[in-house]
Structure 1
């Protein structure tokens, strides 16, 4: 039995959450993949998965094997990538994860401009609003909005993230424009739920120079900011959104900022990546490029 291959197949099943999805990833039949994992279990003398007809969960031994083998498999992939590409680092893939909104408004322009100068660098973008484990997901660079990432990664703050309270002109024509906090709290608003926990976030307000968290009467809640933006533009309610997300709509008049005295910039945009003794040159070069170029794409606090 090729133990290294067997461990790699086991890790693919664990990350995919099932044999069917993993089989598609590796180009094997479900039966052949299941047989390979069972042979690994027999060789180790332990069960790696709890199997039922509906669920597949790691045993304690399986979780430990994935924890130890994951970084080693990622390092092997990186070495093989480096061998396949040119020695000067001007070829290869940079794998990135980011929230959907950052991907559309920041990363796409960055990738476009970078590839004009480095056309042999390829990009693989995984866009979702969850915190992604870089090592397990074989990701080179991550981006996130909010607080600083955990200590087990290297992180770099790119910019503060100003928020604005906005509404569609059609909404304001129908309902009037609130001028005070008390009036705002009588209006229908949109809300945002953290995808990781489902918790509904309060709005951040600058009240007399102090950051205050305020629950608002949300009539429509979202776990992704792009649909929330569409809802505000459609006049469903007043929303609090990041300036980088709505700068085009504000410039065109599709959205109007209201209650600017309450605007805040408490959150930030961070770039983060794993601790590594040997980082591929293409990844390091793109990190350095982002540090220089990204702030220009993100509105500065007012």
Structure 2
């Protein structure tokens, strides 16, 4: 007679799979909303039950053992089956309810989603939103994410995608800075200015500034006086008169609306990739996902309000 799996062992499998996916007890604990020690103890009890070492542990990292790798693959299948059962139950209710897990890059979450979510919750009061902000490209399915918003599209056949809006970037500066230093007339003039650049946290690479000049896409590497790895911090430095920098229009738009930033070379602004919604194929029939995707169409209209603000500021005022 087969031994029945206990609740403690199932909890251990979930803790183990999350730890293996994210690479640490701390990250797994954050994802599961428990303490790191609880995750560690669950994994240790699972190892004791199996009589196997699932991880090779060092002071800096956890690495799956060969036996751990095999159990990890099997554990993922179990967790996916459980999630599909949950999704079937959600779909049978027909009404959005329960928890909706959403992930998005920090700038999009702060500047677009955070402002919109209260209206979404008012519309669906039985639905709880779990919003996770960050640029790490973790496995959406393994993390149990319902909808992910990303810049660009992930090449994953298990995911369905929908474009939301262009990810438009443009150069900006404060009126005060331009009054002190003068407005550059050509791209070559940028060499004479203080440039504030952005660095990708995921790669450590500094951004090469793209400009759409006619049919050509030109890229330059500015001689930066400052390099910052958060888009909102770049915009804050620019608004404080720090120099000229490049920013997504949805980050810069509130500053432009307040008169703290103005677009520089708006005629060369570039649609850099596309803001995209992605969701697992298994979530296609979920009322929660359907409701959120419909809401995203309102949040990201054909002409986005942030691009409209920047375009209006770039239009010469008639006398």
| TM-score, normalization by structure 1 | 0.86
Shift of 1:205: 0.3
Q: Which residue of 2 aligns with 1:73?
A: 79
Over residues 219-254 of structure 1, what are the superposed CA-to-partner deviations in whole Å (9 max), with x where a residue is unaligned?
222222111111111222211111121112112210
SS at match of 1:185: helix
More displaced, 260-269 or 69-78? 69-78
1:136 counterpart = 2:142: yes
Retained in 2: the 8 A contact 1:106–1:294?
A: no
Name the CA shift for 1:23/1:119 in 2 (closer, same or farther; >3 Å): closer
Retained in 1: the 8 A contact 2:173–2:243?
A: yes
Structure 2 counterparts to residues 259-298 of structure 1, below 5 A: 259-276=265-282, 279-295=285-301, 296-297=304-305
Q: Which residue of 2 aligns with 1:114?
A: 120
More displaced, 22-31 or 232-241? 22-31
Shift of 1:30: 6.8
Q: Which residue of 1 aligns with 2:196?
A: 190
1:243 counterpart = 2:252: no
Q: Which residue of 2 aligns with 1:151?
A: 156
Structure 1: tracts of 5 or more residues without a match: none
Aligned partner (choices 204, 208, 231) of residue 225 of structure 1? 231
Shift of 1:94: 0.8
CA distance in 2, matches of 1:64, 1:222: 41
1:37 counterpart = 2:37: no
SS at match of 1:276: helix
Name the CA shift for 1:290/1:277 in 2 (closer, same or farther; >3 Å): closer
SS at match of 2:95: coil
CA distance in 1, matches of 2:198, 2:73: 33
Q: Which residue of 2 aligns with 1:102?
A: 108
Retained in 2: the 8 A contact 1:144–1:270?
A: yes
1:161 counterpart = 2:139: no
Retained in 2: the 8 A contact 1:188–1:238?
A: yes
More displaced, 14-23 or 94-103? 14-23
CA distance in 2, matches of 1:31, 1:72: 20
Shift of 1:297: 4.7
Retained in 2: the 8 A contact 1:7–1:40?
A: no
Q: Which residue of 1 aligns with 2:314?
A: none
Retained in 2: the 8 A contact 1:47–1:59?
A: yes
More displaced, 52-61 or 80-89? 80-89
Shift of 1:11: 1.6
Give the aligned CA root-mean-square deviation in angstroms. Answer: 2.8
Shift of 1:272: 0.7
CA distance in 2, matches of 1:23, 1:151: 26
1:93 counterpart = 2:102: no
Shift of 1:107: 1.2
Retained in 2: the 8 A contact 1:144–1:269?
A: yes
Retained in 2: the 8 A contact 1:70–1:135?
A: no
More displaced, 256-265 or 9-18? 9-18
Shift of 1:274: 1.5
Name the CA shift for 1:67/1:204 in 2 (closer, same or farther; >3 Å): farther
